[in-house]
Structure 1
Amino acid sequence: MLTRRRFVAAAAAGLVAADRALAAGGAAPNSAGTERPQSRAPANACDCHFHIIDGRFPPPETVKPPGMTFDDYRLLQARLGTTRAVPVQPKNHGTDPTCLLDALQRFDGNGRGIAVLRPDVTDAELRRLDTGYVRGLRFSVWNPNDTVAPITTIEPLAKRIADLGWHVQLHMSGDQIRENAALLNRLPCPIVFDHMGRLDPGKGPDDPAFATIAGLIEKGRTWLKLAGAYLNTEAGPPDYPDATRTAKAFAALAPERLVWGSDWPHVTEKHKPDDAVLFDLLTDWAGSETTRDRILVDNPAKLYGFS
């Protein structure tokens, strides 16, 4: 077992190696392009949504596509210039957090994790995960055909994690958000919405779910991730004008309640997007560099407890 000092050295060496590979023209797997973003990342910038998928970790029966490991992500991190990270447990690892905890240990204090669990998780396991820098639970229910933790598990688990100071992270469609408004309003812990709430791209901020999210934000315990432009568009790249309209509406509503995520390795996308382009979109969405830096640094520090 590695000591903390050796882990620090290994993490630093991994990031140096990633920088060297990038400088030599190497590209991060599952990401188009090799150029750095036009906008420079501020110190302590955080990527608040991505997935690590690694065949070394359980469960053995699920597919583990290549090019999605911790070391692969380090290449993207070096390219974008982010230093803090919030890996989100993917469906490929079910409810087993081993891969997530491994990544968080290797981030050496610069990572906070979002796990996926069942309501029968023990108190001892929750405490172990908390010590390992887990800070929330994800419920990806947008597609009921591959949901690991269904809507019915949200409230019982929210009650279990409230005293830990964790939050629930919800990947719901706009319709699901609106239909479950009563549930969301009675949850005893903070809420973070994935992927801009997955509103109807044709309606954007005119989608009734925008008002539902806005009402929850006004209560002071709800956040939203500016991530997944390609999940919120009918127009498509490079500008994603319909997703941009939604992002700008949220930025105007509550810039203090927004964080940004790359959504690497873009598991839903056959043709991988250019992460530098996605990163640069945030400057346009935020409306100013000051607001952009708040979304990249200050807001994640508050939400995830970075010092």
Structure 2
Amino acid sequence: MKNNSEPTATEFAFAVDAHAHVLDTAAFPFSNPEGYRPAANEIGTAQEFRTVLASHGLTHALVVNPFAGYGTDNSCMLHGIAASGGRWKGVALVGHDASDAHLQMLTDKGVVGARFNTLFTGATSLDGPAGLRLLERVREMGWFAQIYYHDEGLLSLLPILEASGVRIVVDHCGCPAVNQGLNQPGFQALLELGKRGNAAIKLSGAFRSSRQSWPYADCDKYVQALIDSFTLDNCVWGSDWPFVRVPHRMDYGPVYQLLARWLPDASDRQRVLWDTPARWFGFDTPGDNLAG
């Protein structure tokens, strides 16, 4: 994993950041009383994110509604999608009580998946009949289930996910415990999931797992194992902008540069930045709906 060919602002005609959040407390005040509330320096509006993408040569985005601050209120994310000229898709947070009409409304406004965050009290649980039924409805909508967990969390989620038959997207390289090696049970289960071909992995969040400074070299072997298991047909890249709940300053450029470290070949990066996310998330082919 050598940084032989760094991405530039003009490297690809089309490229997707497949994991970011938008938070705009002026237009959309926080509505979720549960869990972490982002500080003022962790806020990033849709307009600011469009500027960040353009300055780094990325054209499209998969935006994830943040549990922190908004919970199942997806209004801020939907507003950003509507202003993107067809370049953004969304991953919503929904509750067990979401009506079919509500799910259809989200679909009509650009939502293609639902995220399930296992780390915070108050987030929608996948346990029990209610969780399974919600996953089945997610599958029926043609969405995927995006899951966020730490360490061994996948082991308890897999039976539920597999029973539902839903497509799966895993956040942040599965958040492995980097001091426990490749053979830790949760990470091995993730690699086996990748080999089945019905799941995608986000090559993102290395800074959340690493115990080192940039370029987070202690994560390299985990990233390589994921690429080998999922193949580039099921790998996407995300920044995690605007870097909520991190103990130190983060910037977009160094995080984006990690992709060239992991994938020195430009054609491989193109697959991860466009071909695979376009297929998984339904982005328009180049030349379609790119006004705005």
What TM-score bracket applies, with the shorter chain setting the length?
A: 0.7 to 0.9
Aligned residue in 2 for 1:68:
44
Q: Which amino acid aligns with 2:123?
A: V
2:125 to 142, 150, 154: 150
Secondary structure at the aligned position of 1:223 is classed as strand
**Does residue 246 of the first structure (1) align with residue 222 of the second (2)?**
yes
Please give the TM-score of this superposition, normalised by the length of structure 1: 0.82
Secondary structure at the aligned position of 2:182 is classed as helix
Q: How does 1:211-226 map to 2 (within 5 A)?
A: 211-226=188-203
Residues 32 and 71, structure 2, Cα contact 8 Å, conserved in 1: no
1-side partners of 2:203 and 2:263: how far apart?
10
Superposed CA deviations along residues 18-56 of structure 1, whole A, max 9, x for unmatched, are xxxxxxxxxxxxxxxxxxx94124121000001101112
Post-superposition offset of 1:135: 0.4
Post-superposition offset of 1:193: 0.4
2-side partners of 1:284 and 1:205: how far apart?
20
2:19 to 49, 52, 55: 49
Aligned residue in 2 for 1:162:
139
Q: Which amino acid aligns with 2:20?
A: F
Q: How does 1:176-215 map to 2 (within 5 A)?
A: 176-215=153-192
2-side partners of 1:147 and 1:205: how far apart?
31
**Which 5+ residue runs of structure 2 have no aligned equivalent?**
285-292
Residues 139 and 154, structure 1, Cα contact 8 Å, conserved in 2: no
Q: Which amino acid aligns with 1:246?
A: Y
Whose relative contact order is higher, 1 or 2, with alpha carbons under 8 Å and at least 6 apart? 2
Post-superposition offset of 1:183: 1.9
Superposed CA deviations along residues 57-79 of structure 1, whole A, max 9, x for unmatched, are 25546546444111121221122
1-side partners of 2:157 and 2:280: how far apart?
23
Q: Count the aligned residue pairs.
A: 268
More helix by share: 1
Secondary structure at the aligned position of 2:152 is classed as helix
Change (3 A) 1:271 1:59: closer
Superposed CA deviations along residues 60-111 of structure 1, whole A, max 9, x for unmatched, are 4654644411112122112221110111000111111111110110111111
2-side partners of 1:214 and 1:61: how far apart?
34
Q: How does 1:26-175 map to 2 (within 5 A)?
A: 38-40=6-8, 41-55=11-25, 56-57=27-28, 59-60=30-31, 62=33, 63=37, 65-66=39-40, 67-91=43-67, 92-141=69-118, 143-144=119-120, 146-152=121-127, 154-175=131-152
Change (3 A) 1:219 1:102: same
1-side partners of 2:277 and 2:262: how far apart?
17
Q: Which amino acid aligns with 2:210?
A: T
Secondary structure at the aligned position of 1:201 is classed as coil
**Which 5+ residue runs of structure 1 have no aligned equivalent?**
1-36
1-side partners of 2:186 and 2:31: how far apart?
38
2-side partners of 1:49 and 1:279: how far apart?
12
Residues 204 and 245, structure 1, Cα contact 8 Å, conserved in 2: no
2-side partners of 1:244 and 1:83: how far apart?
27
